[in-house]
Structure 1
């Protein structure tokens, strides 16, 4: 398992609420993978806790959508009980609400109910077949279940969806899933595709450094990491990969300098703890 924890960064530290490690894998250690569209939707939430959803005089379709968006916000905050309450209400108001169904699928991932998760994720796609974000989320789920071939096809479907505005994320997810499956050349291919979609996609560049490192192409990995550093500030993940790469190149001084920077800038990170273990094993 990789020890990298990452946030999405487009140019310089673009906000992304969940790191790769924080994303929703149940009973299995999901790392990576991006729920960008849904997390962007969370920014739409306003202070509306007292909104009435009485059937009399209320547009149930709009009320269902509002409850689905509120549920998404609660899910983002890890408030599963409130998320479930809002989703139950949303689906009661409109069973065919695509967002409510997809979010209910995501909730069931968190609740370690993969059968229900898959059912609702797929139902949301049936209801809204051109929604690339829904397709992308199904790919995330399938990869988390180690169903790599299905996940790859699903990510490709999302990436090639003409209505999906951020295909680079689907390609990046496909690459991350290939990394999990130890299919490193394939991972490299998908990260390159992501960068073709958006040349300044910093996270894909960092992931590409990882994929090339895994193939023992250390000079290429160093070059990709240098490109990443032009796009984003150093992170615990990028510093740790820098340490690995410099060690592989035999640059002990460079490795130690990066290790010192990691400990100084991110002393409480998982990557710092990993580096300390590496350093102690070499003493």
Structure 2
């Protein structure tokens, strides 16, 4: 599951109306208005209101055409619309303006991966992860692992997932992906160990409990599997997840009788 960073922008609270109202015609004011419109566009993008997002982001680009962040977010907007060519165009423009823009490189990698251009995507993920200023390298390493898996290179995928966890041992998707690679190679004991570490670090993360239960079933450990599925019922509020866990609990309970 390759992921972008749209939601990372949504935590910034701005008084957009006040900023826009104070804008005049100087270059400083144009940059302020561009920034406000970009943030409004990000909010609309998070709400999946693509027409309004595109309107605000396009205006922001007109006001401040050399703003790499605006170009990156425009790339995300085009990606959300399914226009991968335009998304790539804007992301490459952002990188041309700021070559060490790790977020833009990571997101460009995602776009290229969606087009199954694995080798090109891998180069972008590696560039993003190698940037010592990147605050979330685990995302790039995870995406790198996903690209290697899709390319049919599980060994390198495994290495990338492990690097993601070394960068951030609380990055839950990397545990699930790593256990999947190990299980796919028949290393079910190692997969179980990875999932056990996941629930140790993230005790309320239901997906790892669910996978741990399934792996324990493969390893003929019904008691451990039952504990894991019971834990899913304890920590998850998702109806479908709870339904699946309850099914396993009922099955294992019937086998005990």
Task: Kindly report the root-mean-square deviation, in angstroms, between the aligned alpha carbons of the 2 structures.
Answer: 2.8
Distance in 1 separating the partners of 2:170 and 2:100? 26
Match of 2:45 among 67, 75, 80: 75
Cα separation, 1, equivalents of 2:140 and 2:42: 20
Higher RCO (CA 8 Å, separation ≥ 6 residues)? 1
> Structure 2 CA distance, aligned partners of 1:154 and 1:270?
36
Aligned-residue offset at 1:174 = 0.8
Per the alignment, residue 59 of structure 2 pairs with 89
TM-score with structure 1 length normalisation?
0.77
Pair 141,270 (structure 1): closer, same or farther in 2 beyond 3 Å: farther
The answer to whether the Cα contact below 8 Å between 1:236 and 1:272 also exists between their aligned partners in 2 is no
Q: Indicate if the aligned counterparts of 2:128 and 2:134 stay in contact, CA closer than 8 A.
A: yes
Residue 163 of structure 1: SS of its match in structure 2? Answer: coil
Tell me the residue number matched to 1:52: 21
Where does 1:99-114 land on structure 2 (aligned, <5 Å)?
99-114=69-84
| Structure 2: gaps of 5 or more residues | none
**1:237-276: CA deviations, max 9, x gaps?**
2122112211221223333443344345436354445567
Equivalent pair of 1:34/1:173 in contact (CA under 8 Å): no
**Greater mean alpha carbon deviation, residues 104-113 or residues 234-243:** 234-243
Change (3 A) 1:71 1:190: same
Query: Which runs of at least 4 in structure 1 moved beyond 6 Å after TM superposition?
Result: 276-283
Deviations 1:195-239 (A, max 9, x none): 333445444334322221222111111111111122112323212
Task: Tell me, in whole angstroms, the C-alpha distance in 2 between the residues paired with 1:54 and 1:63.
Answer: 6
Q: Based on CA coordinates, which of the two structures has the bigger radius of gyration?
A: 2
* Equivalent residue, structure 2, for 1:167: 137
Match of 1:138?
108
1:49 aligns to what SS in structure 2? helix
Paired residues of 2:31 and 2:63 also in contact (CA < 8 A): yes
- Report the TM-score, using the length of structure 2 for normalisation: 0.84
2:181 to 191, 201, 211: 211
Structure 1: where are the runs of 5+ without partners?
Answer: 1-30
**How many residue pairs are counted as aligned between the two chains?**
251
Q: Distance in 2 between matches of 1:266 and 1:186?
A: 32
3-state DSSP of counterpart to 2:16: coil
Matches within 5 A, 1:123-202: 123-202=93-172
Q: Distance in 2 between matches of 1:274 and 1:142?
A: 34
Helix, strand or coil for the counterpart of 2:199?
Answer: helix
TM-superposed deviation, 1:279:
8.8
Preserved contact between residue 45 and residue 73 of structure 1 (Cα < 8 Å): no
- 1:43 matches 2:20: no
Q: Distance in 1 between matches of 2:77 and 2:199?
A: 35
